Amino acid sequence: MLLFAILIVISLMFYIFYKVKFFRTHLPMEKKWLSAKSSIALGLFVALFGINQLFLYQTKITYFVAAIFIVIGAFSIYGGYKAYRFYLPHAIEEAEYVSKNS
């Protein structure tokens, strides 16, 4: 359970890190790429929180709520990963274009 708590905190820190980077950049593709990465981190946070609840409490309501958290987290991770893969080449191309014209 301590492992889940550590992973939850780490994923939350990554989410905050990527959101700060999101607000600091001005490049549109890089913003979308960072948003996808933060979506993965947030989905991991929610899913790990749901898994952690399964170990803390053993009631029917907890199982139901934990299942909802795990499913929502999994969808967020999946959607974020698909967006990450889509925007990564565009962000690289945008960064190369900016570095050439600077």
Question: What is the DSSP-derived secondary structure letter of residue 59?
Answer: S
pTM of the model: 0.91
Domain containing 52: what range?
A: 2-100
Please tell me the total count of domains within the chain.
Answer: 1
Which residue, 26, 4, 6, 33, is CA-closest to 91? 33
Cα 91 from Cα 82, distance rounded (Å): 14
Cα 96 from Cα 65, distance rounded (Å): 45
1 pLDDT more than 80: no
pLDDT 10s digits, 46-96: 999 999 999 888 899 999 999 999 999 999 999 999 999 999 999 999 999
Contacts (Cβ under 8 Å, ≥6 apart) of 18: 34, 35, 37, 38, 41
